[in-house]
Amino acid sequence: MVVLQTVLNGLLTGGLYALIGIGMALVFGVMRIVNFAHGALIMVGMYAAYFAFTLLGLSPYLGWILSALLLFALGWLLYRGLIRPVMGQSDFMQILLTTGVWLALVDLAQLLFGADYRQINLGIANAVVRLGPLRVSSGYLLSFFAAAVVIGLVYAFLYRTELGRDVRAVAQNREVAPLMGIDVERVSAVAFALGAACAGAGGALLLPLFYLYPTVGDPLLLRSFVMVVLGGMGSVEGAALGGLVLGVAESLTGYFWTDSYSQVVDFLLFLAILLVRPSGLLGRQRA
Amino acid sequence: MLRRARLMGLFLVAAALLAASCGGQSGPKPSSSSSNPPSSSSSSASGSSNSSSASGGTVTLGVITSITGSQAAFGQAHQRGYEIALEEINAKGGVLGKKIVLDYCDDTSKPDQAVQCVSKLVDQDHVPLVLGSYSSESTYAIVSVMTQKQVPLIIPTATADNVMQSGSPWIFRICAGSGDYARTMVDFLKHNGDPKTMAIIYENTNFGQSNDKSMRQAAAAAGIQVIDEEAYNAGSPDYKAMLQKVKAKHPDAIYFASYLLDAVTLMHQARQVDLNAKYFTAAGTGFSAAEFPTPDKGAGKDAEYTFSVNQWLPDASWPGSKEFDQKFFQKYGSHPAYHAMEAYAALYAAVAGIEKAGSLDPAKIQEALHQIDIQTAFGPVHFGASGQNPHPVLISQVQKGQYMTVWPADAASAKPIYPTPPWSQR
């Protein structure tokens, strides 16, 4: 029963990881860009939700929409202004560029908001929900469902809309897609902005559960890498699954071993997958 | 096009690195001290008074604390304590006939920054004495640097016992350490219900590790069985799996060593996983912060019944305690916790040392500090040969949102409430 409870807690955290992971996978899948700024974008989303809460009184369970829209716009601008010029260049250039964006955003946050830890105390997020013999924190439950909604929306976009199909086409083959009349530039911008929006929404939904400080995104960036690899590089479904697996793995580590080793297990998992099954859990091999 | 992109990438990285380097450290202050040629701080030559920090009729003392970062709440408490002491001392004429100026350096709650602060305060600003830092982690990092630079350091709040282990004559500590914490808590438990088993939950830093070690030894000596020790890393605060594990072992008592944000999260999550112990006890710090029992910045009702080691409470009988509390409340609108008091008393100790030395020579101040024996609102302060002030500690309990002293019995203002009622009956 306790193990079941631990797995459930892990799944709830995993749902949030999944949202963050698919954002990373979208960018990686479509543009083959390893987005080192992803964690910083999560941080920006958290600050946006934080100020929406403290200044406007907007609960993060609504504020995530604001964060997602803001980050979509930011992602779009980042792509147009900075990423596009280095597209098609060596991977090194892209890593350097996204790392630059990461450091610039974190230091900007440090400059504007200081290194203070902030925490919002949301009554609705501190209650307990009983599911039979199991007990669930309401905050995690709410964030999980909101994340599931966002993931559902992203999924519906990818598989039910014209533009979503274009995104998948570009992810499948960037060279052939333009021959089919697809505007690769526009699709790339959309994919990058959408990836940023997922980070923003994920950040906002983490806010009631986490502390907020300028480098809060850094451990989440590392987790995003693990999720993308777990899911098979660039696979959106895979990254979502990777998020759930990661959440459960961390939770079980905390229970069976010790909490301070949960990140160790993350990276053991990461190395093991790269060694044994580099195509990821779902096994979709990419060229 | 290509070149532009490359330039842009490099520019961004360069800009970020630049921002990182100037964001991290507070730059040198354009003060009168910078105009003086930097003299070696290790002034073994007797009689050479430190002219730079005494220039313009003021004495500048260095303060390192955590003004920003994860421990900012405690850094703020420090600042407030120092400010009240500063006003009082300067109103009475300062030290050696000169007004005191405090030169603050923010360690951003990080040990590497604390070390940089020492360089700034000692090498650039030439202060004859430093007070700080807040956390045991940061303080441990500066102990050896201060010893090398041969400038006395007065530690207000760091409880990890290894900050005093070096035996350096330049290090003085005003507060009690983790060994005293554990012994007092065990003593309290033995006389109040005598629990048989205990779990220790601690932050995996110098402060947590030191308190874990001390409690493990003290509990073993008293026949309390430690059945679980859980270390956590602050930052990703999902402690439910860890608390589940503790719950499955059914300890009678839990001893926490946590800073404020984690103390709040741990108590919320203990309720969420329905972890019931007869005693929730803690090594002070987060569990004794002024914010902890409040609803908006603390754990609110979830803080109720928690026991904590405490170094000082406003109802302490030492002369000056109540006045400090009143002054603090008038100025800041809230009651102080012991962290502010320790900073307040540390500045008084520093002044006593300088007065006794009759000079601003760090070596003379160091010698004098070993000899002072003063009465403060924090109780008697005398560092002796070891540098450790023998400060008695109390046990407090949160009762109806207030810290009440429950141990030792002769200082108690309320009876301890135990066993802690289960969450379902609160």
Structural domains in chain B, CATH included, are 51-176+322-381 (3.40.50.2300), 178-310+393-425 (3.40.50.2300)
CB of A37 closer than 8 Å to CB of A105: yes
Helix A2-31 with A38-56: angle, nearest 10 deg:
110
Residue A189, C-beta contacts closer than 8 angstroms, at least 6 positions apart = A76, A79, A80, A84
CB contact under 8 A, B244 and A9: yes
Total residues found in chain B within this entry:
426
Residue A91: what pLDDT?
82
- Residues of chain B with C-beta less than 8 angstroms from the C-beta of A114: 68, 72
- Residues of chain A with C-beta less than 8 angstroms from the C-beta of B6: 86, 89, 93
Q: What is the mean pLDDT of chain A?
A: 90
* Three-state secondary-structure class, residue B398: strand
Residue A88: what pLDDT?
80
CB contact under 8 A, A104 and B16: yes
The string of pLDDT tens digits covering residues B194-239 is 999 999 999 999 999 999 999 999 999 999 999 999 999 887 778 9
Q: How far is CA A135 from CA A131, B271, B272, B353, in A?
A: 6, 10, 7, 57
Q: How far is CA A38 from CA A118, B19, B59, in A?
A: 21, 19, 49
Residue A135: what pLDDT?
87
Residue B159's nearest CA partner among B311, B272, B363, B323 is B311
Query: Across residues B62-80, what is the average pLDDT?
Result: 92
Interface test with B, best of A6, A126, A221 (most B CBs within 10 A): A126
CB contact under 8 A, A213 and B69: yes
B201 touches chain A (CB under 8 A): no
pLDDT-based confidence at residue B315 (cuts at 50, 70, 90): confident
Is A124 a residue whose pLDDT tops 90?
Answer: no
Residue A198's nearest CA partner among A256, A153, A131 is A153
pLDDT-based confidence at residue B403 (cuts at 50, 70, 90): very high
Category of A187 on φ-ψ map: left (φ > 0), alpha (ψ -120 to 50) or beta: alpha
Q: Which of B16, B248, B297 sits opposite A100 (nearest CB)?
A: B16
Q: Which helix (H) or strand (E) holds A131?
A: strand A128-131
B19 touches chain A (CB under 8 A): yes
Residue B375: CB atoms within 10 Å: 12
Residue B233: what pLDDT?
87
pLDDT-based confidence at residue A272 (cuts at 50, 70, 90): confident
Quote the percentage of chain B above a pLDDT of 90: 77
Is B39 a residue whose pLDDT tops 80?
Answer: no
CB contact under 8 A, B242 and A209: no
In whole angstroms, give the CA distance from residue B340 to residue B109. 17
Secondary structure tally for chain B: helices H, strands E: 12, 14
* Three-state secondary-structure class, residue B404: strand
Q: What is the dihedral of CA A218, A223, A225, A226, to 10 degrees?
A: 160
Nearest-CA distance A101 → chain B (Å): 7
The string of pLDDT tens digits covering residues A274-285 is 888 877 776 655
First to last CA, chain A: 43
Residue B397's nearest CA partner among B425, B375, B426, B417 is B417
Is B284 a residue whose pLDDT tops 70?
Answer: yes
Written as six digits, the tokens of B369 are: 């500090």
Q: Identity (one letter) of the amino acid at B38? A: P
B1 touches chain A (CB under 8 A): yes
* Three-state secondary-structure class, residue A159: helix
In whole angstroms, give the CA distance from residue A136 to residue A129. 5
The string of pLDDT tens digits covering residues B367-390 is 999 999 999 999 999 999 999 999
Q: Which helix (H) or strand (E) holds B112?
A: helix B111-118
Is B1 a residue whose pLDDT tops 80?
Answer: no
Residue B48: what pLDDT?
40
- Residues of chain B with C-beta less than 8 angstroms from the C-beta of A255: 241-242, 244-245
- Residues of chain B with C-beta less than 8 angstroms from the C-beta of A10: 241
pLDDT-based confidence at residue A77 (cuts at 50, 70, 90): very high
Residue B216: CB atoms within 10 Å: 16
- Residues of chain B with C-beta less than 8 angstroms from the C-beta of A246: none
Is B52 a residue whose pLDDT tops 70?
Answer: no
What is the number of alpha carbons within 13 Å of residue A64 lying toward its C-beta?
26
Residue A264: what pLDDT?
87
Residue of chain A with shortest Cα separation from B231: A260
B396 touches chain A (CB under 8 A): no
Q: Which of B9, B236, B273 sits opposite A96 (nearest CB)?
A: B9
CB contact under 8 A, B19 and A111: yes
B96 touches chain A (CB under 8 A): no
A2-276 has which CATH code?
1.10.3470
Query: Across residues B96-107, what is the average pLDDT?
Result: 95
The string of pLDDT tens digits covering residues A90-101 is 888 889 999 999
CA A142 to chain centroid:
17
Nearest-CA distance B334 → chain A (Å): 20
Is A189 a residue whose pLDDT tops 60?
Answer: yes
pTM: 0.83
What ipTM is given for this predicted complex? Answer: 0.83
Is B277 a residue whose pLDDT tops 80?
Answer: yes
Of residues B41 and B257, which shows the higher confidence score?
Answer: B257
Category of A173 on φ-ψ map: left (φ > 0), alpha (ψ -120 to 50) or beta: beta
CB of B338 closer than 8 Å to CB of B312: yes
Quote the percentage of chain A above a pLDDT of 90: 59
Is B34 a residue whose pLDDT tops 70?
Answer: no
Residue B45: what pLDDT?
37
Burial of A185 (0-12, 13-18, 19+ CB in 10 A): middle
Query: Across residues A146-161, what is the average pLDDT?
Result: 94
Surface of A (124-153) touching B: CB under 8 A:
126, 128, 135-137
Is B145 a residue whose pLDDT tops 50?
Answer: yes
B345 touches chain A (CB under 8 A): no
Residue A32, C-beta contacts closer than 8 angstroms, at least 6 positions apart = A174, A234
Query: Across residues B21-36, what is the average pLDDT?
Result: 37
Cβ contacts from A onto B, under 8 A: 145
pLDDT-based confidence at residue A286 (cuts at 50, 70, 90): very low
Residue B421: what pLDDT?
96
A7 touches chain B (CB under 8 A): no
Surface of B (296-335) touching A: CB under 8 A:
296-297, 300
Query: Across residues A234-247, what is the average pLDDT?
Result: 89
Q: In degrees rounded to 5, what are phi and psi of residue A118?
A: -120, 150
What pairing do the DSSP bridges indicate for beta strands B58-65 and B99-106?
parallel
Residue B236's nearest CA partner among A5, A209, A15 is A209
Q: What is the mean pLDDT of chain B?
A: 87
Quote the percentage of chain A above a pLDDT of 70: 98
Is A26 a residue whose pLDDT tops 70?
Answer: yes
Residue B309, C-beta contacts closer than 8 angstroms, at least 6 positions apart = B181, B184, B185, B282, B283, B284, B288, B393, B394, B395
- Residues of chain A with C-beta less than 8 angstroms from the C-beta of B204: 260
CB of A186 closer than 8 Å to CB of A79: no
Interface test with B, best of A12, A96, A116 (most B CBs within 10 A): A116
Query: Across residues B292-316, what is the average pLDDT?
Result: 92
Residue B10: what pLDDT?
47
Query: Across residues A254-271, what is the average pLDDT?
Result: 86
B259 touches chain A (CB under 8 A): no
Q: Identity (one letter) of the amino acid at A177? A: A
Residue A283: what pLDDT?
61
Q: Which of B11, B231, B238 sits opposite A258 (nearest CB)?
A: B231
